Amino acid sequence: MKKIEKEIFLNVMGCAGSGKGTLSKFITHNFSVLSIPTSRLLAEDGHLQKLRNGDLVNDVTVSHLVGRYIMQHREAGRFLGDGSIRSVGQANLIPRLLTEKFNFRTILTINLECSREVAIHRMDRRELEEAGTRHEKNDQVRIKRLDEYNKVSKQIKKVVSNYGPVIDVDADKGIEDVVDFVTTVLGKFIDRDSNLIQCPKHGLIPKIPFLAGSRLTSMHVKSQDSAGLRK
């Protein structure tokens, strides 16, 4: 199988509480990939209140900020978008920007599928750990974010599949399963002569630019040569 090109965009999508942030921190700490701090970029651009309210920021604005960040750090070559794509509009604009302006040859999407119950439990637990208490007003924001994501997630997935592989992952599982399973899966996409890392269950395996997920529920691969771009 053809190895991954140097310039690659790893798109991590999933609802709030699916583990996107946790996985991204693990990836950037252990592997040669630069995480795009989308939330920070939006906050610095004056959209902090929208983020706190669980509202989406204009698609063109998000696309512009992501593109500018990549331009400023182009030498990194490999980028991870932790929730960079949150709407159908962004699913069209950002991959198109990457392929047409930056000539990215590989856009790989990791779709973290998380049940509503698990997502809410994780968000409640995180609030307790960080603030020591729960605030009922935050419940409405959580439900709003989950409902909005669930309305568009299938459409987003369909659009990004035009630009590269989409891997569906059962994100209800634990981090150990996440690392073990998807490390093995993504090893199929890279040159096996690359640096090796130690996997708990499989010993030495190729070092790869991204880890996520726990159980691969399905895998959709479309040729970028034959895939059309959705307007």
* 144 is a domain residue: yes
Indicate whether 23 belongs to any domain.
yes
- Please check whether residue 230 lies inside any domain of the structure: no
Residues 163-205 pLDDT 10s: 999 988 898 987 777 666 666 666 665 443 344 444 444 444 4
> Residue 229 falls within a domain, yes or no?
no
Instruction: Give the number of C-alpha atoms closer than 13 A to the C-alpha of residue 69, restricted to the C-beta side.
Output: 24
Q: What residues pair up with 167 in beta bridges, in sequence order?
A: 110, 219
pTM score above 0.85: no
The rounded distance, in Å, linking the Cα atoms of 195 and 105 is 21
Q: Is the pLDDT assigned to residue 13 strictly greater than 80?
A: yes
2: in domain: no
Are 29 and 128 contacting, i.e. CB atoms less than 8 angstroms apart? no
Does 226 fall in a domain? no
* Residue % of the chain over a pLDDT of 70: 69
- Whichever domain contains 65, its CATH number is 3.40.50.300
The residues that bridge with 12 in the sheet, in sequence order, are 82, 110
Give the model confidence (pLDDT) of 23-79 as tens digits: 777 766 666 778 998 889 999 999 888 877 778 889 999 999 999 999 999 988 889
- Decide if 169 is inside a domain: yes
User: 96 lies in a domain?
Assistant: yes
**Domain residues for 38?**
8-220
Number of domains in the chain: 1
Task: Output the pLDDT for position 122.
Answer: 87
Q: Could you give the CA distance from residue 92 to residue 90 in angstroms, rounded to a whole number?
A: 5
For residue range 216-227, what is the model confidence (pLDDT) as tens digits?
333 333 323 323
